A and B are shown apart, each in its own frame.
Chain A
Amino acid sequence: EAGVAQSPRYKIIEKRQSVAFWCNPISGHATLYWYQQILGQGPKLLIQFQNNGVVDDSQLPKDRFSAERLKGVDSTLKIQPAKLEDSAVYLCASSFSLGSYNEQFFGPGTRLTVL
């Protein structure tokens, strides 16, 4: 079974530029998550989708971050404009469903450097 796919793996941009990350979850997984992991910290949840609907985006900085999962499968996370403090690894994860006993599996992540 293929795992969670993410691209690109690395991205370097200058502040105020925009960037987009793509994620394809494990086949059959209805729930998709985007996390931000700053160096030396644990991942922090940004947004959670169930199929093509947003379940929780309370920690997403909506003035600059946006995410969509239009067809309920793959998802895109965008940052516009980027700030220096956005430098982090952006992790996508998926689980079979929403229930708290559903295990989450992570993709390889996208390492973003904002100069």
Chain B
Amino acid sequence: QKEVEQNSGPLSVPEGAIASLNCTYSDRGSQSFFWYRQYSGKSPELIMSIYSNGDKEDGRFTAQLNKASQYVSLLIRDSQPSDSATYLCAVNPPAGNMLTFGGGTRLMVKP
């Protein structure tokens, strides 16, 4: 069983719509959760971190965490073609800082 799972996509949304990206994890004791954006041929770029249940908003991005359901999501409002990328969910174990990444979801925003 994969430790961090994401739908590989592609997820296609029209420009201006809300894109919803989901991630589940297996280790119930996981403490910290991160979303990275990776453009083709580039390295991962940190866009959001979340540590407690609920929502965390940063500009057009909202991260949502539900530890009881072992579920993390990322919402992108007013999606732009420049948001087209692969979004990686990363989870830290109960102790330490050794990220486990999901396989990523490819997002395509169509003009």
Interface residues of A (CB under 8 A from B): 31, 33, 40-45, 48, 55-56, 89, 91, 95, 97-109
Contact B103 A108 (CB under 8 A): no
| CB-based A-B contact count at 8 angstroms | 63
Residues of A within 8 A of B94 (CB): 100
Q: Which of B70-96 contact A (CB under 8 A)?
A: 88, 90, 92-96
Residues of B within 8 A of A44 (CB): 101
The residue from A91, A100, A107 contacting B97, defined by CB atoms under 8 A apart: A100
Interface of chain B, main secondary structure: loop
Min CB distance B100 to A, Å, is: 8
B54 contacts the other chain (Cβ, under 8 Å)? no
A91-B36 Cα distance, complex, nearest whole Å: 14
Residues of A within 8 A of B16 (CB): none
Residues of B within 8 A of A102 (CB): 97
